[in-house]
Amino acid sequence: MTLSMASNVDTLDIPEIRRMSWDLYYICNSISGDAPDGFRQLVANLESLHSVFQTLEDDATKNSEAGQDKERKHTLQRCLKSCSGILQQLKEVVEMYRALGFGTGKQLWQSIDWMTQQGFIDDLNSKIVAHTCHLGLCVSSIGKSSLERTESTATRSSAKDIPPLTPSSLQMQDEVSPTSFSIPTSRHHNVHIMAELDGTEVPNPNTVRANTQRPFTPGHTRVSTSSESFVSGQSDASIFTATTRTSPSTPATASFSPLSMAPPDAYSTEKEVVWARGPGSGISSVQYQRQLQRSNSIKPGESILWGGPPHSGADAIQELHQRQLREQLLRSLRYEPRDRFHQPDAELLVKFDNLAHKEERPQHLTTKGWLLVAVWWFLKARTALANSEMPSLVSHRGSASPSTVSWTASHQAYVDLLKASYILYDIVLRVESPQVLLEDENRKLISDLSEGIKEDFAQFGTVDIPDYAATHSQNLDIWEPVQPEETTGSEGQASSPGNICYVTVELEDGGNEDEQVLFRTFVNAGIGSKKLRMRTRGAPYMLLLSTRYGESEPKITICNQYGTFCLQRDLTPGDLAQLVQVSNAPLASLPVTRTTEPVTLKFDTMSVSVSFQYLSDMMQVINMPKAYFDAVQLREPLESDEFTETVVFKSSAESLEQLRMPNMTSSRPPTVHRSCEVRILERSFKEAWRSVRRIVICSSAADQSGQIIEFFMPLSHVQVSRTKASGFILLKWSDTGQERSGKTDGNYHPLFSYVYDSSNPNIGIGIQFRSGEQADELEKAILSRNTEAVFTWSQTKSSGQVYDVVDAALDGKRYKAVMLCRTRGEWKQCGLHYLYRDMDYVYEHSTLRVKFPHSLNATYISSHVDQLYRADQRVFFSHCEKELRDMVVEFNDEHVLRTFMTSLASSHELIFSRRATSLMTKEKLLLGPKKSVKGYSQVQLWRDAETLRLAARWNDHITDRWLTMTIPSGELTRAGNLVSFPPSSYSRGMVLNMSKMAAGSAKNPSREHKIGPITIMFPDTKDREDFVAAIVGMHSK
């Protein structure tokens, strides 16, 4: 199947290439389960490429006229041809992978030398990204061409009905409604905007200058009206003249001079164009010549991507960026006209001019910087108006007799609005290079600011406007005062103006992209130490409450007017305590505009003493976080006489999803909590083995109602699954709420119990953190204890830690805790075992493993056990009970195994361990040595600083299976595989005391302490020599 874009062009096999991209995506996706990240990224890019092909096919079918543009068709043909070649290369590589015969699993990628393949795959990946971007441009151009033809037709049909424009008509239209202008010309005249992007030849600059001198023809200008908005533009050639400054007696109007407008041939067509890029359009001649040089460096029809040297996706991204810049120039600038009634008088205007330019700051300030200064004063005015008591204002207080202080605040707010209006209309909109006004960010600031100024001026009636004396007595400064700590950075160097992301007209626009501003006001602040703090008036600093996506805690921020000083940290309950203390002072009976007592906020680098201008603002800062902190109080450690709680993990997460068990799949609908905090708290009882945990998930401070979820979490058998270098982690475990009804009460009535079942998890969650480090910390917190380990090991067969444990009870019992971790598939889990000082174990030297038959484990009991009814409310954890289980630990290295055993002892070190054929405690018979009837035994040598102890264990059928003795310093008797000791004192028992390395708890007390010879038979001579060498080496020290 082929798709014909037009009858007069060749066919383009778009569906065929689309199918090829889909087939490759399907095959690559099927083998990407255990693939490296580079190959997985390739799969994602193939899916994007297929989507672009699908869109291109649909658009080409709907817009068959697109093929009539030979240049566009030629570019698309070469793009498709190059893309087809790249896909063919990838197809050959994938077929080679599949030919290896290892299926689609891990064995396939283990058989591939990825180090040699990675560079080639990455190169294909970058080329696919580049082609995806270029094809996206083609899709946009096909859809856009049809729209442009429709607009052109509509323009031609309506242009004859519009009368020519005159200066008087333009003046009248400004009084009725704002206007929008567009100058239609033929497409080939759009040279200055298209040259860099489309690769076309640029006409000679002299020709362009000649064209700009043609007389203006009014019939080429189209006028369209828009509601409550103003479209304007400026240039060095005075194409559009913006609002001019007038005296207070003459209302300011938006005037235009068509006679000074450049001819339409110099501008783009069929769009509302404000400024074109060429001589006399707001850029210097040097910049214009550089643009010509850049545009002439690409010949017609050439492309950097095809038929050129190797490339990357950056070329396509750059072209997309240039397209966005062009679209910015083609969109009109809209703003509200200047209010004619609320303007500064001539004397005030002169003062504003002098104050605005009296320092060096304005010389280096950009257009955006001036806009931010205007927004700053606009926000200060709005804050004052929100806290004033003017009778003519709509106020929730409804006061008919405002105080003198309130009148002063409203008068200052009016002057601040005049400052904002002066900066916007007399400085920003008179910029010499008006192209900067068309940047998206500046365009929005201008529009929002002009609308906000208009709205706030509307609140002032005739009686509310301050008179001449009141106006000139207010603070007229354009620049806020600066303290020394604001002008120097952390290294003592001068700070430069920054991008103040919090200075926006609307509250919801403030902050970074991942931030939500909840409240902002202006405060007085003393910065630095007490010796350096300066007293400020007029609230020259902005204070904000905000939250950040992926983080739960409310944040407090304080910044200055210039962006050179901005401090931010989490707001804590301790901060609220200070604020509440100040708010409860007798200040509450004073006027709301009285400055509050200072509150000290400590940041990482310095302290700031903050005092609020309005009591209502302080109450806002208190009440908003307080409601949140009260709602999530359960996340704080609980206080009890029976236990203590400690936070072992605390971090914010982008999202947390509760999964459906046992398949760990999303529920319908999914239960997802975004921008939440995850905390794990460990509850320690007087007996350490009874310790448990709970995990708490609380919502973000943006959710003022506050939500919190709590789960019981054991210290053992919490399973963890995650991908390295990824912030996503999966957890599953069992609580004490699993119903069982297998028992009866003896009368055939079932008994219902809710139990903990470590082998059958019933809780599963998936957490997405902002970084892999946060997921690492959570994994570490779950798979370890909240104390320092005395020994840690990590090997293929096992990993874990050994901890010293002390009961907080009166006797202060000491023992060991072993956190044993194992991996099964993608999941890791740890089992926590406790070993008392008197223990029994089986040490197997040949297999490098040790078994503890009676390790202590905690089992968790619920609040609903053996009841005749099901639980009608939530079942919770009640208490722990002891349970004895086997614990087997396997190792890969003998030295690690011996070190592990040493960590279980108090002061001794294991230096030797072998299996002996026989160990006898009787005299030598006349007929020679006789093999012991007790069978094999495990012989070990333990040493401390002064002595060497022998510890031997017979098989389990021997009751008092342990024998210990101090190795005498005398001569040993060696004969063949035998080693004999002279009669010595030894001990027998069922367990080994790891503190003294002595056998104890003998079942037969008469055998606990005895004296006699000890004879050991080893399987071979080497074991006997190693045993003797260890003894001789110890005694020789």
Query: Using one digit for the tens of pLDDT, what is the confidence trace for 482-534?
Result: 887 776 544 444 344 444 788 899 988 888 888 889 999 999 998 887 777 77
When comparing pLDDT for 302 and 1020, which is higher? 1020
- Judge contact between 743 and 866, C-beta under 8 A: yes
User: Does some domain include residue 53?
Assistant: yes
User: Does some domain include residue 479?
Assistant: no
Query: Using one digit for the tens of pLDDT, what is the confidence trace for 526-584?
Result: 888 777 777 788 899 999 999 888 788 899 999 998 877 888 999 998 898 889 888 88
User: Does some domain include residue 8?
Assistant: no
- Judge contact between 701 and 547, C-beta under 8 A: yes
Is the pLDDT at 313 greater than 80? The verdict is no
- Judge contact between 178 and 337, C-beta under 8 A: yes
Measured from the Cβ of residue 849, the count of other Cβ atoms closer than 10 Å reads 16
Whether 861 and 715 map to the same domain: the answer is: yes
- Alpha-carbon gap, residue 915 to 892, rounded angstroms: 18
| Residue finishing a domain among 93, 121, 153 | 153
Is the pLDDT at 608 greater than 60? The verdict is yes
- Average pLDDT in the 890-917 region? 93
User: Does some domain include residue 340?
Assistant: no
- Alpha-carbon gap, residue 839 to 989, rounded angstroms: 11
| Residue finishing a domain among 99, 119, 153 | 153
- Alpha-carbon gap, residue 207 to 192, rounded angstroms: 13
What is the helix (H) or strand (E) element at residue 473, kind and residue range?
Answer: none
15's CB contacts (< 8 A; 6+ apart) are: 1, 2, 3, 57
| Nearest of 189, 184, 150, 326 to residue 269 by alpha carbon | 184
- Average pLDDT in the 819-826 region? 90
- Average pLDDT in the 785-807 region? 90
Q: Considering the chain, what is the average pLDDT of its residues?
A: 76
User: Does some domain include residue 7?
Assistant: no
Token pair listed for 1031: 């003894």
Is the pLDDT at 468 greater than 50? The verdict is yes
Mapped onto helix, strand or coil, the DSSP state of residue 673 is strand
Q: What was the pLDDT predicted at 420?
A: 95
Q: What was the pLDDT predicted at 690?
A: 92
- Alpha-carbon gap, residue 849 to 833, rounded angstroms: 16
- Alpha-carbon gap, residue 546 to 558, rounded angstroms: 11
- Alpha-carbon gap, residue 405 to 415, rounded angstroms: 16
* Nearest-10 crossing angle of helices 191-198, 285-296: 40
Q: What was the pLDDT predicted at 491?
A: 44
Q: What was the pLDDT predicted at 328?
A: 61
Distances (CA, A) of 439 to 231, 429, 628, 730: 15, 13, 39, 44
Whether 498 and 591 map to the same domain: the answer is: yes
- Alpha-carbon gap, residue 723 to 767, rounded angstroms: 12
- Average pLDDT in the 138-157 region? 51
Backbone angles phi, psi at 72, to 5 degrees: -65, -40
User: Does some domain include residue 313?
Assistant: yes
Burial class (CB in 10 A: 0-12, 13-18, 19+), 99: exposed
Q: Residue 946: which pLDDT band, with cuts at 50, 70 and 90?
A: confident
Is the pLDDT at 278 greater than 80? The verdict is no
- Judge contact between 860 and 883, C-beta under 8 A: no
Whether 379 and 464 map to the same domain: the answer is: yes
| Nearest of 837, 838, 834, 839 to residue 859 by alpha carbon | 834
- Average pLDDT in the 395-405 region? 43
Provide the strand spans (E) within 6-75. Answer: none
Q: Residue 363: which pLDDT band, with cuts at 50, 70 and 90?
A: low
Mapped onto helix, strand or coil, the DSSP state of residue 261 is coil
Q: What was the pLDDT predicted at 329?
A: 62
Q: Residue 431 CA to chain centroid, in angstroms?
A: 39
| Residue finishing a domain among 835, 861, 888 | 888
Q: Which domain holds residue 420?
A: 346-472
- Alpha-carbon gap, residue 188 to 209, rounded angstroms: 16
Cis peptide, bond prior to residue 178, ω within 30 of zero: no
- Alpha-carbon gap, residue 677 to 671, rounded angstroms: 16
User: Does some domain include residue 893?
Assistant: no
User: Does some domain include residue 9?
Assistant: no
Is the pLDDT at 279 greater than 70? The verdict is no
Whether 54 and 94 map to the same domain: the answer is: yes
Torsion angle (degrees, nearest 10) of CA 262, 264, 266, 270: 140
Q: Residue 113: which pLDDT band, with cuts at 50, 70 and 90?
A: low
Whether 327 and 350 map to the same domain: the answer is: no
Strand 607-612: give its sheet, edge to edge. Answer: 566-570, 555-559, 541-548, 515-527, 607-612, 599-602
Q: What was the pLDDT predicted at 398?
A: 39
Whether 448 and 504 map to the same domain: the answer is: no
Q: What was the pLDDT predicted at 296?
A: 34
What is the helix (H) or strand (E) element at residue 894, kind and residue range?
Answer: helix 894-904
Q: Tell me how long the chain is.
A: 1037
- Judge contact between 155 and 181, C-beta under 8 A: no
Whether 502 and 623 map to the same domain: the answer is: yes
Whether 421 and 549 map to the same domain: the answer is: no
Whether 625 and 641 map to the same domain: the answer is: no
Whether 762 and 785 map to the same domain: the answer is: yes
Residue 91 belongs to domain with CATH number: 1.20.1270
Give the residues across from 883 on adjacent strands.
857
pTM of the model: 0.62
Looking at the chain, the whole-number percentage of residues with pLDDT higher than 90 is: 35
Whether 612 and 664 map to the same domain: the answer is: no
For tokens 């242009």, the residue is: 159
Burial class (CB in 10 A: 0-12, 13-18, 19+), 923: exposed
Provide the strand spans (E) within 200-319. Answer: 222-225, 231-232
- Alpha-carbon gap, residue 446 to 428, rounded angstroms: 9
Q: Residue 303: which pLDDT band, with cuts at 50, 70 and 90?
A: very low
Is the pLDDT at 880 greater than 80? The verdict is yes
Q: What was the pLDDT predicted at 242?
A: 33
Count of domains forming the chain: 6
Backbone angles phi, psi at 71, to 5 degrees: -65, -45
| Nearest of 631, 610, 637 to residue 621 by alpha carbon | 610
| Nearest of 535, 512, 826, 859 to residue 689 by alpha carbon | 859
Among 92-101, 213-222, 446-455, 607-616, which range has the highest average pLDDT? 446-455
Whether 117 and 238 map to the same domain: the answer is: no
Q: What was the pLDDT predicted at 181?
A: 31
Mapped onto helix, strand or coil, the DSSP state of residue 247 is coil
- Alpha-carbon gap, residue 77 to 306, rounded angstroms: 11
Q: What was the pLDDT predicted at 64?
A: 53
- Alpha-carbon gap, residue 409 to 391, rounded angstroms: 13
Backbone angles phi, psi at 722, to 5 degrees: -160, 160
When comparing pLDDT for 355 and 140, which is higher? 355
